[in-house]
């Protein structure tokens, strides 16, 4: 991991006007960065016995589960305002949408409490039970060698 001295500015007022959006965490890389018509092309079936969902994506079976953000937290989808020319340049991001739950998908294996995303949703309350969400966001960016500034 390289240390980067660039600054990331988060435009927090944009969170107030941001719409809620369905979020799907896929087990693959999709070379698309933007909205998709998931309600039209990506519909899941729900099994009654478990809260497990199944879907086929490009011919592969996916099994998923909906997880909620930790209580008191809101997920943010960030979008760069201007794409910098290099990694050393400062970046500004705004909140394009928000979410309070997401659906994560596994490739052919059933969801379990040992899945990384499920454990990550418990992390803020276990590690920092009294920390504010902005403090946690700052810690995450510090971990990745970025400096965060709130606008």
| Per-residue pLDDT tens digits for 97-124 | 888 998 999 997 899 989 888 888 877 6
Q: Which residue's structure tokens are 């290099």?
A: 86
DSSP state of 37: -
Tell me if 14 is assigned to some domain. Answer: yes
Average pLDDT over the chain reads 75
- How far is the CA of 114 from the CAs of 27, 45, 51, in angstroms? 15, 23, 16
Domain that holds residue 95: 7-150
Q: What phi and psi values does residue 97 have, to the nearest 5 degrees?
A: -160, 165
Binned at pLDDT 50, 70 and 90, residue 79 comes out as confident
What is the tens place of the pLDDT at every residue in 21-69?
888 888 888 887 777 787 777 777 766 556 788 888 888 888 999 998 8
Domain count, the chain: 1
The CATH number for 142's domain is 2.40.128.680
Q: Greater confidence, 93 or 51?
A: 93
Tell me if 44 is assigned to some domain. Answer: yes
Tell me if 2 is assigned to some domain. Answer: no
Per-residue confidence (pLDDT) for residue 73, from 0 to 100: 80
Binned at pLDDT 50, 70 and 90, residue 126 comes out as low
């Amino acid at each position: 991991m390289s240390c980067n001295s660039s600054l990331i500015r988060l435009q927090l007022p944009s969170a107030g006007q941001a719409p809620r959006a369905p979020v799907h965490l896929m087990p693959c890389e999709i070379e698309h960065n933007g909205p998709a018509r998931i309600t039209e092309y990506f519909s899941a079936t729900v099994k009654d016995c478990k809260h497990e969902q199944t879907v086929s994506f490009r011919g592969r079976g996916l099994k998923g589960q909906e997880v909620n953000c930790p209580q008191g937290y809101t997920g943010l989808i960030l979008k760069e305002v201007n794409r910098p020319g290099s990694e050393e340049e400062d970046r500004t991001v705004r909140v394009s949408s928000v979410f309070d739950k997401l659906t994560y998908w596994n490739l052919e294996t059933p969801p379990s409490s040992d899945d990384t995303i499920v454990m990550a949703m418990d992390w803020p309350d276990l590690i920092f039970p009294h920390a504010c969400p902005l403090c946690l966001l700052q810690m995450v960016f510090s971990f990745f060698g970025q400096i965060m500034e709130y606008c």
